[in-house]
Chain A
């Protein structure tokens, strides 16, 4: 009988968002579980354990992205569950939550089981399903949310569209409350954004592209928060783009008070923190986004909201599209960019290098917070934390490593990344799911550093 697999991390900067510790130490994984953690000390590792010398790299819970588009079923030319989760693992994510706007839409228990089955058969990172709240995401009829939740849907969203009718929104929030599932809103009032392509302002005016005002996001967010004030569902606003939305969310959280504020949350994505609508110049479809890129003022407001905790979930809104689709003219090209493989570096650039938050907080927003939002602990004990006896989903991050984003080296099937060619700092060098290595940085590809030196 062979001895159990063991991984012995030495000399790591261990960050655990749950216990809020950030100390150098050692961590031992046996099989799929964290066996022991020694902050400032040594663990008792068996002789056969594989030793991983971390040389001060950050060891934290596996990153969790609560908002990705895996495109399967129906959009396999853009991405599949396999390529999307390989992309996730290469970016340090051990878990992703996929949105239901596939074809057909994930609006039945059967379709939830289909994705879970595909993920179990062929996936790198873990996949959890965010089910559609209404049939075909049309906002007209409630989807069978109870049976979907039973089949594994961890949250609900009509992402791609906001729920237009206030009456329907109220019903969805009631059901989400009763099922103890979060509702994730894509805040877009279509009567205000109608036909919009670019943030309302000088770029839209000069290029002759239909404007998309901030109001489209803010009006729906205000309405939802007002409705939810009575219903107390777990409400989450996806991909906030407007500085006004950040202020609205801050006020709403203040009204709820410290003990209830966590019932509502907002999400930021890297592109809304690094790019402005100026990136659309020259009809650059690579910068065509829903919601659109806005201005430096919005970036500043969003960063303030991340700094003070108003926005406490980070995501990528990884949205793969083929080269052919993105090569169309601006109006007919699809919205969205991919983000899984560069999100960590981009967040480092936007938030840590800029002094908005520190590494422990960044880790928290990328692990514990999305795990709480989706109640993932119900499915996998200890996920999003470093807990002795909990699952060994781990990411090792070299916060100093300089690298250049090369979209053609991505594991994702798609290449629609406007950050291609950008020099960044900070990289996941080892991604572990349940004790198994999903991704290990190839030391040949990055010869300037050999942090993942293994011994024994």
Chain B
């Protein structure tokens, strides 16, 4: 059953006080903002001093003009669990087995995609429609749209047409935050450059939780182009918040030593030797080698030999270990055909429906009736 509008309101109220404090504690660059305000551009909240301790950024920022969902970094376990519980309840609605409460009735959601991604866009669209929202799709991939200026310009134009929520996908790290700082409607990050892809992270968490139960103490390997992956960032933040141990696996060029600094604490580690960890993990997430981000410069031609999920390696996995892939796959590179075909065929579709469910949960949180 989907949560009602009043439940959603309650949920927002529950997370409110925690989040308002760090938001207020953030500093702004007063002058740049004053000038930017005059020129119609708003700069995202800024921190200036090294001496100010690191402030956790809330994923859902309760502002006077609506909340945003920009990242999984800083989202606490309670909130994550609450989102995942919502998504779990919404799963039957996501696949059309049950009707969802139309909490987004009368809302207009724009999918603003500065980068092509049919799968993510369709997933957001179905999620929004199942909740009763109207959806417009704008694909603005192209040279002029890739700069931050046109990102802001386009978003403000679309917003002026009466949109309640912008689902933004762009190649710019921090692009979703830049949009959120410049529009009054809600903003959901559908992947920003190499930064985060929080709904993809949530769907990984939901799939893992459904198979492994409580994730506390579970060991999850993420293999591949970690440095350039927004999925790896979001999923790692979520897993660590839920108490799981994450090991990043890949060649040094793709898993730099600074990766360990993504989150503080002992729950994150790095391995350049896939065979040494393959037998000890509860789940393995295989990332695509993203050639379009030029990461292949640091990737040797024997990538499959060292880090591919081959038939031999799959046999060394625990029998109950779960294999995930955010897709699309490069068969014969990071994953062998046979492994992709059988072990995996059931989970990949489950991931797709989990994707719709978590997006329903997020959309009803950020722009559900209040």
Instruction: Give, as a whole number of angstroms, the nearest-CB distance from A441 to chain B.
Output: 21
- Take A282-B26, A330-B174, A418-B48 as given contacts and tell me if A205 and B259 are in contact as well, using a CB distance cutoff of 8 Å: yes
How far apart are the CA atoms of A286 and B33 in the complex, in Å?
11
**Is A206 a contact of B34 with CB atoms below 8 Å?**
no
Residues of A within 8 A of B224 (CB): none
Residues in B neighbouring A282, C-beta threshold 8 A = 26, 44-47, 57, 177
List the one stretch of B35-43, B323-331, B361-369 in contact with chain A: B35-43
Contact residues, A319-370 vs B (CB, 8 A): 323-324, 326-333
C-alpha gap A202/B177 in the complex (Å) = 19
Q: Which residue of A lies closest to B147 (CB)?
A: A332
Q: Is the CB of A324 within 8 A of B39?
A: yes
Tell whether, in the assembled complex, residue B173 and residue A279 are in contact, meaning their CB atoms are under 8 Å apart: no
> Most chain-A CB neighbours within 10 Å: which of B26, B41, B173, B256?
B173
Q: A329-B174, A329-B175 are in contact. Are A323 and B258 (CB under 8 A)?
A: no
Complex: how many Å from CA A333 to CA B29?
16
Is A415 a contact partner of B31 (Cβ separation < 8 A)? yes
Alpha-carbon gap, A287 to B47, bound state (A):
9
Interface: A189 (CB within 8 A): no
Asked whether B43 lies within 8 Å of A327 as measured between CB atoms, the reply is yes
Interface segment, one of B90-98, B190-198, B210-218: B190-198
Pick from B39, B177, B227, B230: contact of A283, CB below 8 A. Answer: B177
* A19-36 interface with B by 8 A CB criterion: none
Q: B195 to A328, Cβ gap below 8 A? A: no
Residue of A nearest to B171 (CB): A331
Q: Restricting to A276-329, which residues have a CB under 8 Å from any CB of B? A: 276, 278-279, 281-287, 296, 323-324, 326-329
Q: Return the chain B residue nearest A209 by Cβ.
A: B173
CA distance A246 to B46 in the complex (A): 30
Q: What's the Cα separation between A415 and B37 when bound, in Å?
A: 14
When each residue 173-205 of chain B gets 1 if its CB lies under 8 Å from chain A and 0 otherwise, what string results?
111011000000000000011111000000000
The reply to whether A332 and B256 contact each other, CB–CB distance below 8 Å, is no
Q: Is A407 an interface residue (CB 8 A)?
A: yes
CA distance A408 to B34 in the complex (A): 10
In the complex, A419 Cα to B50 Cα: how many Å? Answer: 12
Is B233 in contact with chain A by the CB < 8 A criterion? yes
Q: A83 to B147: give the CA distance in the assembly, Å.
A: 30
Distance of A269 from chain B, by nearest CB (Å): 16
Q: Which of B93-126 contact A (CB under 8 A)?
A: none
Task: Verify B50–A279 contact, CB threshold 8 A.
Answer: yes
CB < 8 Å: which of A205, A276, A406, A418 contacts B262? A205
Q: Find the B residue at minimum CB distance from A329.
A: B148
Which residues of the other chain, B, contact A415 by a CB distance below 8 angstroms? 31-32, 35
Main secondary structure of the interface of B (DSSP, over half): loop
Interface-centre pick from A205, A287, A332, A408 (highest chain B CB count, 10 A):
A205
Instruction: Tell me if A275 counts as interface (CB < 8 A to partner B).
Output: yes
CA distance A421 to B43 in the complex (A): 16
* Contact A202:B174 (CB < 8 A) given known A208-B193, A329-B151: no
The contact string, 1 if C-beta is below 8 Å from chain B, for chain A 153-171, is 0000000000000000000
How many B residues are at the interface, by size bracket? 35 or more
Complex: A202 Cα to B264 Cα, angstroms: 10
Q: Which residue of B lies closest to A204 (CB)?
A: B258
Interface size, A (range): 35 or more
CA distance A416 to B43 in the complex (A): 13
| A418–B47 CA distance with the chains assembled, in angstroms | 10
Contact B30–A208 (Cβ < 8 Å): no
Q: Give the distance in Å from the alpha carbon of A282 to the alpha carbon of B258 in the complex.
A: 19
A201 contacts the other chain (CB 8 A): yes
* CA A312 to CA B358, docked complex, whole Å: 58
Considering the complex, which residues of chain B in the window 212-254 have a beta carbon less than 8 Å from any beta carbon of chain A? 227, 230, 233
Query: A275 CA to B27 CA in the complex, in Å?
Result: 15
Which residues from 42 to 90 on chain B have a C-beta closer than 8 Å to any C-beta of chain A?
A: 43-50, 52, 54-55, 57, 73
Contact assessment for B36 and A284 in the assembled complex, using a CB-CB cutoff below 8 Å = no
Is there a chain B Cβ closer than 8 Å to A131's Cβ?
no
User: A residues within 8 A CB of B262?
Assistant: 202, 205-206
Answer yes or no: A267 CB below 8 A from chain B CBs.
no
Contact present for B29 and A284 (CB under 8 Å): yes
Query: Please, which residue of chain B has its CB at the minimum distance from the CB of A279?
Result: B48
Residues of chain B having any CB pair with chain A under 8 Å: 26, 29-32, 34-36, 39, 41, 43-50, 52, 54-55, 57, 73, 147-149, 151, 172-175, 177-178, 192-196, 227, 230, 233, 256, 258-259, 261-262
A interface residues (Cβ-Cβ under 8 A, vs B): 200-202, 204-211, 275-276, 278-279, 281-287, 296, 323-324, 326-333, 406-408, 415-421
Known contacts A206-B233, A418-B48; 10 additional CB pairs below 8 A are A202-B258, A205-B262, A282-B44, A284-B44, A284-B46, A327-B41, A331-B173, A408-B31, A415-B31, A420-B30
